[in-house]
């Protein structure tokens, strides 16, 4: 397995992971733009553009784009996040040139036809309503809105029905021209590929990208003191709860300790919260933690869904487990298991070409290089147990927390009395 990164004269970066043993090849075109780069009036435009790039080019119809990849057993998809947009696919290795051609074509030559825009406006509207109707998804958006109020990170990546209705072809063309340029673009490939060949192929296909400027983002203000609780009544069988704490950024040296804290508290089925709430007491079906790091900030998220009658007991148990890990370092055996889980799951994922492709793109956009995963594993192994207590004490402070709760008759004052 060999990784390489080349920066072309215009600023376009090409990152590869050569895996000669692989039978497949994965590729991605990444733009360093996402929801947090959008002005409020264009909220959701990055996601809308992601959809539109699959609607046809000067060479291919929307159906032809998918048929060329699915017709050889491959996959083609995309996602938009807060800080990046990615168009990616995977095929048997002999069809890798075709995958490159399709990805570069849709990235470079989207039609943005008026009829396609109107149809996709309806599709995205249905997507917005779908997430709104799913309490487990909606509670996360409610958390974000109140965790980052009046900031782009607090807005939904899909936008609102009002903002997507207001967007026209000129807005799409202008936004794409400003944000999809050579300096913001990374092409990645992993599998049975050769770096030099990928660079030559991509340089020709993406040579028309304009040269742009580095994108700026609005700074994130410090969170106000005091527990914040946002509640929304829903006629549902379960109550969905999401708790957010300010957390480390992608560049903070403490991020390795935070990752281990996540595994210890709610990262798998042997974690403390899962064992306490589900296995020992049967209070919920699922409970989990999720660190969400960004370039300059982050959130540590605790999520669970359960019957309303179990909310009080569960919140008290969550608070007790957080206070316990602040006071007492994990035991040697538990801490060893957490480290081996983090490293083992990483190694297993990196056997897949699609995972290596994702790792390369996220790494280059975040750190400007392909991070050596063995170095990451070494840093995880080097974290002392006491540091987990330190980051827990610093970050898991309910005086800086935000809680979102969606369900039948949510009781904000009750939540505040338990966690505040």
Put the strands of the sheet holding 402-407 in their side by side order.
Answer: 228-233, 402-407, 239-246, 298-306, 286-293
- Span between the terminal Cα atoms of the chain, in Å: 50
The catalytic residue among 18, 23, 38, 50 is 50
8-state DSSP, 235: -
Q: Rounded to whole angstroms, how far apart are CA atoms 154 and 38?
A: 12
**186-125-177 Cα angle (round to 5):** 30
CA dihedral 99, 37, 373, 7 (to 10 degrees): 60
Q: Rounded to whole angstroms, how far apart are CA atoms 282 and 46?
A: 41
Task: For residue 50, indicate whether it is catalytic.
Answer: yes
8-state DSSP, 182: G
Q: Decide: 145 and 154 in contact? Cβ < 8 Å.
A: yes
Q: Rounded to whole angstroms, how far apart are CA atoms 400 and 224?
A: 7
Burial of 17 (0-12, 13-18, 19+ CB in 10 A): buried
Rg of the chain over Cα atoms, rounded to whole angstroms, equals 23
Q: Rounded to whole angstroms, how far apart are CA atoms 112 and 93?
A: 31
CA proximity to 28, closest of 88, 74, 79: 88
Q: Known catalytic residues?
A: 50
């Amino acid at each position: 397995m060999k990784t390489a990164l080349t920066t072309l004269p215009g600023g376009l970066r090409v990152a590869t992971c050569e895996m000669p043993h692989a039978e497949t090849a994965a590729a991605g075109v990444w733009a360093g733009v996402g929801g947090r780069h959008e002005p409020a009036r264009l909220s959701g435009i990055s996601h809308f553009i992601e959809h539109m790039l699959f609607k046809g080019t000067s060479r291919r119809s929307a159906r032809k784009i998918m048929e060329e990849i699915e017709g050889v057993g491959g996959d083609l998809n995309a996602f938009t996040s807060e800080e990046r947009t990615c168009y990616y696919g995977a095929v048997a290795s002999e069809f890798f040139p075709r995958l490159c051609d399709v990805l570069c074509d849709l990235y470079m030559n989207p039609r943005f036809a008026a009829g396609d825009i109107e149809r996709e406006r309806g599709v995205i509207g249905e997507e917005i309503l779908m997430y709104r109707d799913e309490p487990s998804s909606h509670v996360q958006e409610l958390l974000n809105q109140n965790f980052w109020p009046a900031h782009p990170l607090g807005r939904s990546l899909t936008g609102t029905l009002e903002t997507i209705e207001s967007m026209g072809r000129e807005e799409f063309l202008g936004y794409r021209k400003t944000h999809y340029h050579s300096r913001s673009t990374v092409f990645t490939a992993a599998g049975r590929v050769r770096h030099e060949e990928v660079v030559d192929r991509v340089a020709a296909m993406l040579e028309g990208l304009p040269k742009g400027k580095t994108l700026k983002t609005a700074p994130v203000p410090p969170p106000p003191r005091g527990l914040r609780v946002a509640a929304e009544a829903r006629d549902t069988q379960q109550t969905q709860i999401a708790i957010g704490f300010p957390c480390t950024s992608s560049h903070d040296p403490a991020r390795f300790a935070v990752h281990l804290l996540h595994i210890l508290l709610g990262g798998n089925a042997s974690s403390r919260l899962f064992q306490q709430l589900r296995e020992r007491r049967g209070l919920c079906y699922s409970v989990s933690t999720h660190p969400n790091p960004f370039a300059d900030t982050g959130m540590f998220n605790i999520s669970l869904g359960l019957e309303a009658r179990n909310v009080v007991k569960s919140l008290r148990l969550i608070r007790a487990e957080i206070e316990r890990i602040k006071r007492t370092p994990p035991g040697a055996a538990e801490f060893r298991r957490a480290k081996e889980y983090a490293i083992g799951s990483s190694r297993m994922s990196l056997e897949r070409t699609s995972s290596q492709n994702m790792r390369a793109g996220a790494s280059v956009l975040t750190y400007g290089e392909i991070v050596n995963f063995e170095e990451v594993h070494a840093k995880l192994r080097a974290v002392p147990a006491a540091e987990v207590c330190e980051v827990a004490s610093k970050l898991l402070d309910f005086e800086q927390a935000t809680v979102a709760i969606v369900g039948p008759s949510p009781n904000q004052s009750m939540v505040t009395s338990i966690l505040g």
